[in-house]
Amino acid sequence: MPESLNLKELERKAWQSFQQDGLMEVFLGALLVLAFLAGIAGEQRFFVYIVMLLLGPMLFLAKRYVTVPRIGQVQFGPKRKANQRLLAVVAVVAVGLTLALMLVAMRGSSWLRDNHVLISFGLGGMVALVFTAMAYLKDFPRLYIVGLLIGAAFTVTELLDNPAPLLVVGSILFVVGLAILAHFVRQYPVPSADVTHGGGR
């Protein structure tokens, strides 16, 4: 039993180290800034959407070429893999609900106009709830705070009918993410070839 507990703790520490690169904050910050730009771009927002779609692959490549060389490719147990699958389901449902809400809003529903404040807080609460689920399933405590910030940004954006809060929160997350990334790079330098291959022997 103690050995099993030690293995679980090692796995947990390895997973948390994998999340300490700040790339998630950079990704989410960039996404919010682009959402702000889409809100003011008018007919040119299509190009902003294209850049937004590229952020996912860019995050994957950054993980592969920045994080993995420093801490290695970590293999996780069945429970954490199950959590990752559940997280994917949560993300798909959240995106679906958000798109549905956007479509209803685009139709100019009178009910939405009459309940604007309720919808604004509901949208922010839904966003915060999704990030709470992500933080729990990913064992990633920083996401709790990130979720509250992003949820607040969406709520205020809807209340003011102005995307500026997305820019403010996005810029904060982006800068904080870069600072965390810089610390991560200093803390976990890429092992030299001699260290990796036992000094070439």
Q: CA–CA separation, 199 vs 192, rounded Å?
A: 9
37 located within any domain: yes
Q: What is the DSSP letter of 197?
A: T
- 16-50 pLDDT, tens digit per residue, is 677 789 999 999 999 999 989 988 888 888 888 89
What 3-state DSSP class applies to 141? coil
199 located within any domain: no
- 39-95 pLDDT, tens digit per residue, is 888 888 888 889 988 988 998 899 899 988 888 766 666 776 677 677 777 777 776
Q: What is the DSSP letter of 96?
A: H
Domain tally, the chain = 1
184 located within any domain: yes
Q: CA–CA separation, 23 vs 19, rounded Å?
A: 8
134 located within any domain: yes
120 located within any domain: yes
Higher-scoring residue by pLDDT: 19, 182: 182
153 located within any domain: yes
Domain that holds residue 93: 2-74+81-191
28 located within any domain: yes
Provide the whole-model pTM.
Answer: 0.79
62 located within any domain: yes
